[in-house]
Chains A and B, each alone.
Chain A
């Protein structure tokens, strides 16, 4: 079986046109592809929002840093695919990647002694395009040494109120989010229970879900049934994700004795805006998680990512106790400006880039 790009999708015709929108193919529409998709007014408001964000950080005592977008290191995540790049300066054995987040660079600065830093940068993720995704996007990321999980969530809540002029975000555990919507405990539910839950929630899925694991079913339920209800009246911070979804967060036992990740996410109007960790400090643990992530990538049929990176070295030197948060600025702008999709707040989304 060969794979090919869908270049031969049928031209627009009445009988099988998906959109019934023949107008999209008129020359005048094609000609205007040079134009920004967002109005200039929105782009100006977006700039103001960024100023407010920078003012908030300055007032909190954080300073702005810049780390490389192009690096031989990359986050090793089962589901994050970095864009490979071969700059002319690289030797043939070196692989460079566009960063999926500035996490590695910023943590290296923390290990070197920086304490309160933030960055506004571009992040890149392969194959992520849709109304709420653009393969190139603006990420705001910050780290504060000494922040506990609680302090980290509070700082995110303060930022949210300061830039969105909204009600203070409410708090919810990952467990309660599932209990409230699906009457299911995500930490104890068996695979069979997760499948039953999806079936009774009328989720029709592809056959490949037959072999899906716990986390894949949880993600499906979260994305399809739980998330749309999160942060509808006021933004909400969800915390204590399953330990298997810790990524680079510390793992601890919650008050019920369940192993949970000290990880939190901000949602507004059903949209995921930010992801934060009480950061993992143990280099050996990071190595272990990278190995596990690569094993899963391989079983998913994806390429392994390099596990030997400078963050490991920095963590071996010593990363101070801290919280870090990454926020999707384009989505924040969408919420702040009442837009419906990313292209309403981006000058040139990928199809016009």
Chain B
């Protein structure tokens, strides 16, 4: 297993702590003129998404985490399991609802997501920044109301509820920002 020494520490490093993969999201080098070097690190657990603050001293080392990022297409959902496929080699992966987390809201069939593999096993999935979803149900729009500041909940084809402007109608397609879960615009086609 490869090892990173403190002099290799930097933002973006993927390391293993107590068996979990972490992404170094901050690394602050502190060193008194006469004294040991300190590396104040902030690490994000790539499985639990929790954040860990930890100070390392010069000479410490962390094991690298075998993290691979692939593109995987969402196939279907069966109960609490979500099935994906790596289009480059047709390898199939399944994730639990826990692992998929809030991303389920944006997963319609054949959406290509970015998937993280830790030691070859999927640990999480991120949909594209924008997805287009069909409005499956909403209250009818108020005629003549084109104001964008009045919004209402609409239910999209994945079953998620998203706040959209009041003029949106059932059956229409909307573009949604997956990072904020916000409506972006109305579109004509997928």
Q: Return 18 A-B CB contacts under 8 Å, by A number.
A: A3-B2, A3-B5, A10-B12, A16-B67, A79-B31, A128-B37, A129-B29, A130-B28, A130-B29, A131-B29, A133-B29, A204-B53, A204-B55, A205-B57, A206-B55, A224-B55, A272-B32, A301-B59
Additional A-B contact list (8), CB under 8 Å, known A206-B56, A220-B57, A223-B31: A3-B3, A19-B12, A128-B31, A204-B55, A206-B54, A245-B34, A275-B34, A302-B59
Assembly CA distance A265 to B34 (angstroms): 10
Which residue in A9, A14, A80 is a CB contact (below 8 Å) of B13?
A: A9
Q: Given B25, B31, B34, B126, which contacts A18 in the complex, CB threshold below 8 Å? A: B25
- Residue B155 at the A interface, CB < 8 A? no
Question: Are the C-beta atoms of A14 and B126 separated by less than 8 Å?
Answer: yes
Q: How far is the CA of A64 from the CA of B117 in the complex (A)?
A: 60
Contact, CB under 8 Å: A205 / B34: no
> Does residue B36 face the partner (Cβ distance < 8 Å to A)?
yes
Are the CB atoms of B7 and A127 closer together than 8 Å? yes
Among candidates A3, A18, A247, residue contacting B24 with C-beta atoms closer than 8 Å: A18
Count residues on chain B whose CB falls below 8 Å from chain A CBs: 47
Q: Does A18 lie within 8 Å of B59, measured CB to CB? A: no
B60 within 8 A of A: yes
Residue A27 interfacial (CB < 8 Å): no
Q: Which residues of B are found within 8 Å of A300, using beta-carbon distances?
A: 59
With CB as the reference atom, state the residue of chain A lying closest to B2.
Answer: A4
Minimum C-beta distance from A224 to chain B (A): 7
A2 and B3 alpha carbons, distance in the complex (Å): 6
Please tell me if the beta carbons of B114 and A15 are within 8 angstroms of each other in the complex.
yes
A9 touches B57 (CB 8 A): no
A194 to B129, CA, bound (A): 47
Q: Interface size (A, Cβ < 8 Å)?
A: 51
Task: Report the separation of the CA atoms of residues A220 and B58 in the bound assembly, to the nearest whole angstrom.
Answer: 12
Chain A's nearest CB lies how many Å from the CB of B153? 26
**A90 CB within 8 Å of chain B:** no
Q: Which of A53-61, A144-152, A208-216 contacts B (4 or more CB under 8 A)?
A: A208-216
**B52: nearest chain-A partner, CB-CB:** A204
Inter-chain contacts of A2 with B (CB < 8 A) = 2-3
A208 touches B59 (CB 8 A): yes
Looking at A14, A15, A212, the one whose CB has the most chain B CB atoms below 10 A away is A15
B67 to A6, Cβ gap below 8 A?
no
Q: Given A1-B1, A128-B37, is A18 in contact with B23 using a C-beta cutoff of 8 Å?
A: yes
Q: Do the beta carbons of B116 and A223 come within 8 Å of each other?
A: no
A-B Cβ contacts below 8 A, count: 132
Known: A14-B126, A130-B28, A206-B60. A272 touches B33 (CB 8 A): yes
Q: Residue B109 at the A interface, CB < 8 A?
A: no
- Expressed in whole angstroms, the Cα–Cα distance for A284 and B100 within the complex equals 67
Contact among B13, B38, B54 with A223 in the assembled complex (CB-CB below 8 Å): B38
Are B32 and A15 touching (Cβ within 8 A)? Answer: no
Chain B nearest CB, measured from A235 CB (Å): 16
Within A58-96, the residues touching B (CB, 8 Å) are 77-80
CB distance from A211 to the nearest CB of B (A): 10
* Contact yes or no, B69 A15, CB < 8 A: yes
Q: Is the CB of A1 within 8 A of B3?
A: yes
Report the minimal beta-carbon distance from A295 to chain B, rounded to whole angstroms: 15
- Nearest-Cβ distance from residue B183 to partner chain A, whole angstroms: 20
Say how far A276's CB is from chain B's closest CB, in angstroms.
Answer: 11
A36 and B10 CA atoms in complex are apart in Å by 23
Contact A128 B29 (CB under 8 A): yes
Residues of B within 8 A of A319 (CB): none
Q: Give the nearest-CB partner of B113 in chain A.
A: A15
- Are A18 and B11 interface neighbours, CB within 8 A? yes
* A6 contacts B13, C-beta separation under 8 Å: yes
Contacting pair B34 A79 (CB below 8 A): yes
Question: Contacts A14-B126, A130-B28 known; A9 to B12 CB distance under 8 Å?
Answer: yes
B69 in contact with A16 (CB, 8 Å): yes
A10 & B69 in contact (Cβ 8 Å cutoff)? yes
Most chain B Cβ neighbours within 10 Å, of A5, A14, A18, A272: A18
Q: Are A5 and B33 in contact (CB under 8 A)?
A: no
B30 within 8 Å of A (CB atoms): yes
Q: Is B46 an interface residue (CB 8 A)?
A: yes
Closest to A274 in B: B33
Verify if B8 is at the interface (C-beta below 8 Å from A): yes
